[in-house]
Structure 1
């Protein structure tokens, strides 16, 4: 079946729903992180519980990265349909596993069940990215960055819905475990839509580019690996603070941090629909330069915010900064290395996922060390009064956010040099899959 014979509109809905589902999962994990820490990890090791919950959240990104690494290389063989069915099943199994963990006695077994369940959702997340990104690139080859930004607008939409549902669940006193049921509904709907749809070939396959040519394209192009390395840092600036926000910011500003995540996500949902006009004016790499500058400033301001009003102001700057990062990095690779196919996009997602696997536990470790420092030593934590513990946790929250504020600023010279080089050449570096050369 050729790409012109498939139902582009239906498949775009499938892609949007798949991205919505993984955004929903991101919000659910942020919602339940404090509950997992209090109900499980504090009982196991109070002094290191933040690092433990960071590791648990981080394993989701490990699953995500591994599926992207191998799934992107195999999506041409197994098909987008099977890959998206795998994603739906991963979320269903992961949600059911977390539900089972909540009724088990606290101990090493329940800790392993939590890790396995979060790993499954990560595998499902990676399968979504491995299939949906090359699908959209194949459906809309002439406007990849714009369409990928719109597709990934449904990520923050899922965060908004999941975050608000989590706040509502907490506000009315419903058990927090109900959050897991939030994941099941879109996963089941996605499985049905995928099973009843026809999918296109990837752009690489449709153009007749072989597997050997795909790998050769990536190996012989050093600039691809520059962008790949940049993805480690852009993902750390966007996703790690977002996953940590409910633990940290709740302690800094005295409100549910998930509300800030919901606000930023709503901002991102709107802004990503306007990526096309922005890219036309300043190019994809120019957009990344501006984004990194705003993200670094926003993260530092978030660590200083001590009232809800200041937190929302700082979150606005951070949100504007990180808004376009993930889809624009994918768009840059899709435009500049089209012969790299799904593998090129998958390697970018792998870099992003592995970045978070390292950064989240690091943020947790910084949090624990700062909390112990404020308490006068880890052995003093259990003796602190509620007021003293609150002050120690607030100090630790500030330290953990400041630890990542410098990350996006490291990329300013990299994107700045590439942006300037592109402008001197009179183009944006985009290429045709049938041959190299500027297409604009």
Structure 2
């Protein structure tokens, strides 16, 4: 690997670590933000909706921006929105302005959605250069950042450190990582230069990639595995509190166990993928996640359910990055395919968990998780569509449009 590619890869890892820290820092200080705004839980739910609105907008606009300006340009815009959003949230909290926090979360979510899809495209490009898995470690850095951010948030909360100052410091950290990333990422990755496949540009080109039946199967897998990850991120602490009657602290610690398992699985995934291939690894991962979910749903004790989240986290860890990597194995439309599959995954992150909440109102969170279990089983069944390993650009796609 030459020095330029090494700096490129390192910059991606560093920014994803910072982004994960930023996301978890915000989540950890949510109670302090609510207290600063002096609003009810229901009103706080409306404030939090800003994050969903922004994230959806960022995810949907990322592909077109990458095609027009390249991954570097999209990441620059996304990072700017993330930093600005955190600063606006900090200011809104200090001034007790719920509308300000809503706008800040919209900016933050838009930046995260925009930057992360672009980073998947960049990561897939690095993989094609060095011929080794990169995306699992890239997502592992984000997961590690969530662990760091959660621990930092817990510590600063215990020390009664002002939430505004905390978020401002995290914004400065992300800004520094973004500058390093932008300076190290080459120009033009994913940019539509007019020499790709016919009709590859614009909305029509984005939709055209879904004519490939294999990509549709890959999209279903990434949607299912992203749903499993997002369900835990949004509902695992509350599931433990409501479903097993543990304390809020115990519920948070259970989520920390899950996040740590995700991190471990992603960092350990590279050698496994090189040895056994992507289809085998994702199939086994999905089975492990299904086993963990099943135990969480039916466990007779909170201790057993908490231990099962290790399996849930390990199993869900590789599904998203590996399927995105597979989508990038195409001689012409790699960026378009990665963008399409990434968008499907992030839509599952955003839309799926709220749907689980609606279902849980009627049958409870434990039973609602059977939907996630069913989707993970579907992912295990379809894993053969991922192929045994990486293909070179000279090899044809196994299933043509």
What TM-score, normalized to structure 2?
A: 0.82
**How far did 1:101 drift?**
2.4
Contact in 1 for aligned 2:140/2:267 (Cα 8 Å): yes
Cα distance 1:288–1:126, how it changes in 2: closer, same or farther (>3 A)?
Answer: same
Structure 2 residues without counterparts, runs of 5 or longer: none
Distance 1:223 1:189, change over 3 A: same
SS at structure 2 position matched to 1:202: coil
The match for 2:155 is 168
**CA 1:184–1:204 in structure 2 vs 1: closer, same or farther (change >3 Å)?**
closer
Structure 1 distance, partners of 2:388, 2:253, is 37
Matched, 1:404 2:369: yes
Q: Which residue of 2 aligns with 1:116?
A: 103
Residues 142-221 of structure 1 mapped to structure 2, 5 A cutoff:
146-197=133-184, 199-202=186-189, 208-210=195-197, 212-213=199-200, 215=205, 218-221=209-212
1:274 aligns with: 268
Given candidates 204, 213, 226, the residue that maps to 1:235 is 226
RMSD across aligned C-alpha pairs, in angstroms?
3.4
Q: Between 31-40 and 404-413, report the one with greater CA deviation.
A: 31-40
Report Cα offsets for 1:260-284 as digits up to 9, x if no partner: 3333333333332332332345432
SS at match of 1:212: coil
Whether 1:224 aligns to 2:184 is: no
Q: 5+ unaligned residues in a row in structure 1: which ranges?
A: 371-395
Q: Aligned equivalents of 2:357 and 2:37: distance in 1?
A: 16
Contact 2:135 2:322 in 1 (8 A): yes
The reply to whether residue 19 of structure 1 matches residue 16 of structure 2 is: yes
1:80–1:135: 8 Å Cα contact kept in structure 2? yes
Q: Does 1:318 align with 2:309?
A: no
CA distance in 2, matches of 1:235, 1:59: 21
Say which is worse superposed, 126-135 or 9-18, in terms of deviation: 126-135
Distance 1:218 1:296 in 2: 30
- Once the two structures are TM-superposed, the CA of residue 162 in structure 1 deviates from its matched residue by 0.1
Aligned to 1:126, which of 83, 105, 113? 113
Q: 1:205 to 1:100 in 2, by over 3 A?
A: closer
**Cα offsets for 1:120-141 (capped at 9, x unmatched):** 1122112322332222222231
Matched, 1:263 2:257: yes
- Number of aligned residue pairs: give it: 391
Q: 1:359 to 1:39 in 2, by over 3 A?
A: farther
CA distance in 1, matches of 2:366, 2:26: 18
Cα distance, 1:363 vs structure 2: 4.1
* CA separation of 1:193 and 1:113: change in aligned 2, threshold 3 A: same
Per-residue Cα deviation, 1:223-257 (whole angstroms, up to 9, x for no partner): 21232233333212102321334455456432253
Deviation sequence 1:39-93 (CA, Å, 0-9, x none): 658x44x5x46xx63x655653543343333322331431333222212211211
Which digits, 9 at most, give the CA deviation of each residue in 1:315-349, with x for residues without a partner? 211111111122112112123x4532222222222
Q: CA deviation at 1:296?
A: 3.2
- What is the CA deviation profile of residues 380-416 of structure 1, one whole-angstrom value per residue up to 9, with x for unaligned ones? xxxxxxxxxxxxxxxx9xx225413432433434542
Q: 8 Å contact 1:87–1:124 — kept in the other structure?
A: yes
Find the aligned partners of 1:36 and 1:247 in 2 and give their Cα distance: 19
